[in-house]
Chain A
Amino acid sequence: MASRKNLTGSLLLLLLVLSCFQSAHALPAFARKYGLRCSACHESWPMLNYFGQKFKDNGYQLMNDRDAPIWQNPSYWPVTFRITPIWHRVSNARVAEDAVPGSTTSSTVEGRIESSGFDLSGLDFHTGGTLEKNVSFYVLPSSDSTATFHFETVMGRLDNLFGSSWLNVKFGKFELDNLLSEKRILTLTGNGGIYQTYHFMPVGDGNIFGQIGDNQLGIEYMGHSADDRTRISASLLSSSDGNVGLVTGANSYTGFFTGSQAFDAGKLGVERIGFYAMVGEAATFYQTSGGVPIPGSGIGNKGFSRVGFVGQFYFGPHFDIQVVTQHGSDNAWFGQGFGSAVNPSNGTTCPTSGPCGPNNVPGTVLPATARAPSWNGATFEAHYVYSPQLIFIGRFELERMSQQATVGTPSNLGNITSYTVGYRYNPFMTSRAGFAWHNEYNFMHQDLTSFYGNNVNSSELLIGFDFDF
C-alpha cells in the first residue's frame, strides 16, 4: 500500500515538474536564427515536416533574402547540442552462455539476459548554416555514450547555382537523401532507434557498404522545384560506409539516386511518393603483408543494389503514415562473407559486428552452393500528432529473405520483424530550445539466429529526457 502511495506521489511530482517547464533563453541553431518555433520545421523535433524539408533543400535558407549571415547579429553562433539521459530496460532472449558459469569447458546453453538502469545516449554537436547566400555548411561531431567522437557529418554545399533551384551540390560526408530520415528518427532504443530496412544484412554477409541509413562520403547533386513538390538527387559515394582514411572504398564507388513527387490532396495535406536506388561496388580482395590484408588496397569489386519506394501519406493535420520498401541484393561473394576483410573504421582489427571476413585472394573459389542473396523489406511508420507538443509513434518493420546466400539454408534465416511504439511530449514549444519527455518500447524478433539456430526475441523499454539547446 505504501509503495503504491509512493508511486502515485512520484508520478504526481513528475507531472508537476513537467507542467512547470518554462521556455529557455537559448536557441537551437536554425530556430534561433529565424525565430521560428521548432514546430514550423519539425513534425515533432527532430523529424522534419514538409516545410522543414524545403528549408533543408534550400541549403538551410528560408529564401527571404535575409539568409546570409551578414544579416545576423554578430553574436549569433549556430551551434546546437543534443544528448539524452535515459532509463531503459533491455531484454535479450537466447543469449549464448556457459551452462556452468565461469567454466571454460562448460557446454553452451541459451538464456535470457535482462538488464535495466540509468544510462546516457551519445552527444551530438550540430553546427551549420549559411556562410553566404546560397553557400552553407554542416559539421556534426558526434560521440558515443563514452564521449568517443567521430565526424558524423561534414559538408559544404552550394545552392541555387545560376539562380536555379534545380542546381544544388553538396560535398563531404552527409546523410543520403532519404525522405524518411534515420538521422531525424523519433525513436531512441537500440533496435527501434534505427530503421532495420536501412541496415539489413543477410546472416553471414560481408557487405557493410549498402547501409543507406549511414552517412556517406561523396558528392551529391540535388534539384527541386521552388515549392519542393518535385525532388531529385544523385550521389557519387565512396564505398566506405562513411568511414574515413580510404581504408576501404579506395577504389570502389556507389551511386545513390532518388526522385519524388508531392501532390496536393486538399484538406488531407500534401502527399508524396518517390523511389530510391543504390547501386554500387565494393572490394572483396585486399593485398596482404604477412598474410594480413593491407588497408586501402581493396580491389576485386563486386556489386550490390538497394532499391525501393517511399511514400509519405497525410490524412489531415493529425495523422500520417510513412512507408519505405526495399529490395536488396548482394553479389554471391558478399553472401559468403567477403567484403569486410579489414575493419573499415581503422583498417586494423575485425569489424565489431563479427569476425573478419575472408580475403578473396587469387585462387579463391566460391562454394558450388553459393548464390547471390536477396531480400525484401518494408518500414511502416505512423504518427498521430495530437499537437505540435505531443506525438505518438508506431512503427512496424519486416525484412524477409527471398534468396539465401547458400543453397539449403533455411529460407527464413535472419528474417526480422520489429515493432516500436512510443510518444514524445514537449512541455514547451518555442524557438529557443527543444525538450522532449520520451517514452518508447521496441520488440524485435529474428528468425533462427541464436547460437543453436532458434528464433531470437529482444525488447527494450526506454524513458528519457531528449533535449537540445
Chain B
Amino acid sequence: MRKKSFLQCSLLMSAAAVLALSLPARAQLSTVQLETWLNSPAATSHVGNITGNAKAAAADYRRYCVGCHGEMGDGNGENSPWLDPKPRDFQLAVFKCRSTPTGTLPTDEDLFDTIARGLDRSVMPPWNTFTKDERVDLVAWIKHFSPRWQNEKPGAPIQIPPEPEVTPERVKAGQEVFGRVQCWKCHGVEGMANGPSASTLTDDLGRPILPYNFTDGSRPKCGSTDSDLYKIFMTGLDGTPMPSFADNIKPDEAWDLVFYLRSLQPHNPFNAKEKQIAKQLGLKPVSPQ
C-alpha cells in the first residue's frame, strides 16, 4: 500500500517537473533588480523623434496599469485572478503583436501601437487617451521589467511588400494557401474558430486559448488593416499557438491569404471588394482533404 502511494507520489512529482520545465523559464525578479534596470539605458524608448524615459511613466503605470499587470510587471495584479485572458507578463517579454520575426523582441513602435490600440476581446482597452510622449514613456517602463531588454535588441521589422490589387485569382489563391498551411485546423474551414484543434489550444503558459473567429465581426488583436493581417501570420503571435508562416508562405502568397481572410469577415470598412469577389466566385469552404 505504501509502495503504491510512493509510486503515485513519484509519478505526480515527475509530471509536475515535466510541466514546469515545459513552461517558459522566469527568474523571480526583485525590486532591487528592477530599480537597477530602471536606471539602465534599456529603460528608454524611441518612437519617431520622441524619446521615452521609464521613470516618467511610473505615475501613469501605477494609476492605469498596475491593477492588472502588477507592481512587478509579472501580470499578477490584484485583478489577474478574475481576468481571461490573463494580463501580459512583462517579465517574460513575449509579445503577440510585433512587426519583428517570431522569437524576437518587438520594436518600441510595436508596443507604442499596442497601448493605443488595446487588445480586443481582453480587458486591455485602447489607451489612446495618453499623449504620444506619455505612451513612449510607458513603452520604456514596460521594457524595464525584463532582463531580455538588457541583453537583446529588438528584431528587425519584417519587410512588407506593397499591397497588390485584389483580384479573383488572388482571392482564390489565398484560399489555396489557407488550405495548404492548414489554417483551418484551428480557425475552421469557414474561419469560425471551430477547427478540429480549436478546443485543444493552449498558450505557452498552458492556459486555454481560442483561435480568432473571422466571422463574428470582432477586430483582430493586432490591428485591422491589411498590413496588420499580413504581419500576424508572417511574424506569428508569440506566446500563442499561432506560429509564424514566414518560412512557408511567400510574400506574394501572404497577400493572397490576406485577401481570402478578408472575404471570410463580415462586411467592414476594409473588405468590400474581397466580399464581392468571393460572392462572384461562389467560394466554398476549403476541404480538410
Contact = CB atoms under 8 A, between A and B. Distances in A.
Given A64-B119, A265-B131, A387-B59, A51 B64 contact: yes
Interface string A240-273: 0000000000000000000000001111111000
Contacts of A62: 118, 123, 125
A39 interface: yes
Contacts of A51: 64, 127, 129
A66 B123 contact: yes
14 contacts: A23-B78, A35-B67, A37-B64, A40-B63, A40-B64, A62-B125, A64-B124, A65-B120, A65-B219, A266-B132, A267-B134, A269-B131, A269-B134, A431-B79
A318 B126 CA distance: 23
B123 A34 contact: yes
Given A35-B67, A36-B123, A266 B78 contact: no
B218 interface: yes
Nearest to B81: A35
A40 B68 CA distance: 11
A34 B67 CA distance: 11
Contacts of B79: 35-36, 431
Main secondary structure of the interface of A (DSSP, over half): loop
Contacts of A227: 126, 128-129
A270 B123 contact: no
B97 to A, nearest CB: 15
B83 interface: yes
B122 interface: yes
Given A36-B67, A37-B66, A51-B64, A270 B121 contact: no
Contacts of A318: 59
Contact of B62 (A63, A264, A387, A431): A387
B60 interface: yes
A58 B79 CA distance: 23
B133 interface: yes
B56 interface: yes
Interface residues of B, number: 32
Given A318-B59, A431-B67, 15 more contacts: A35-B79, A37-B63, A37-B66, A39-B64, A40-B63, A51-B127, A55-B125, A63-B125, A63-B126, A64-B126, A65-B121, A227-B128, A268-B131, A270-B129, A430-B78
Interface in B89-131: 118-131
A124 to B, nearest CB: 24
Contacts of A63: 118, 125-126
A388 B63 contact: yes
A70 interface: no
Nearest to A269: B131
Contacts of A161: none
Nearest to A39: B63
A50 interface: yes
Contact of A388 (B56, B62, B118, B125): B62
Given A269-B131, A387-B59, A64 B118 contact: yes
Contacts of B6: none
A267 B78 contact: no
Contacts of B129: 50-51, 54, 227-228, 270
B133 A267 contact: yes
A64 B122 contact: yes
Main secondary structure of the interface of B (DSSP, over half): loop
A161 to B, nearest CB: 16
A317 B218 CA distance: 34
Contacts of B134: 267, 269
Contacts of A266: 131-133
A226 interface: yes
A55 B64 CA distance: 13
Interface string A168-188: 000000000000000000000
B218 A65 contact: yes
B60 to A, nearest CB: 6
Nearest to B268: A163
Contacts of A40: 63-64, 67
Given A227-B128, A430-B67, A35 B62 contact: no
Nearest to B67: A37
A392 B269 CA distance: 46
B82 A35 contact: yes
Nearest to B132: A264
Residue with the greatest number of chain B CB neighbours at <10 A, chosen from A23, A62, A387: A62
Interface string B225-267: 0000000000000000000000000000000000000000000
Contacts of B59: 317-318, 387
Contacts of A50: 129
A258 B230 CA distance: 42
Interface string A376-404: 00000000000110000000000000000
A41 to B, nearest CB: 9
Residue with the greatest number of chain B CB neighbours at <10 A, chosen from A23, A50, A226, A317: A317
Interface in B186-243: 218-219
A50 B129 CA distance: 7
Residue with the greatest number of chain A CB neighbours at <10 A, chosen from B83, B121, B134, B219: B134
A35 B123 contact: yes
A447 B68 CA distance: 52
Contact of B78 (A265, A388, A431): A431
A64 B132 CA distance: 21
Nearest to A267: B133
Residue with the greatest number of chain B CB neighbours at <10 A, chosen from A51, A264, A270, A430: A51
Contacts of B119: 64
Nearest to A55: B125
Contacts of A54: 129
A317 B132 contact: no
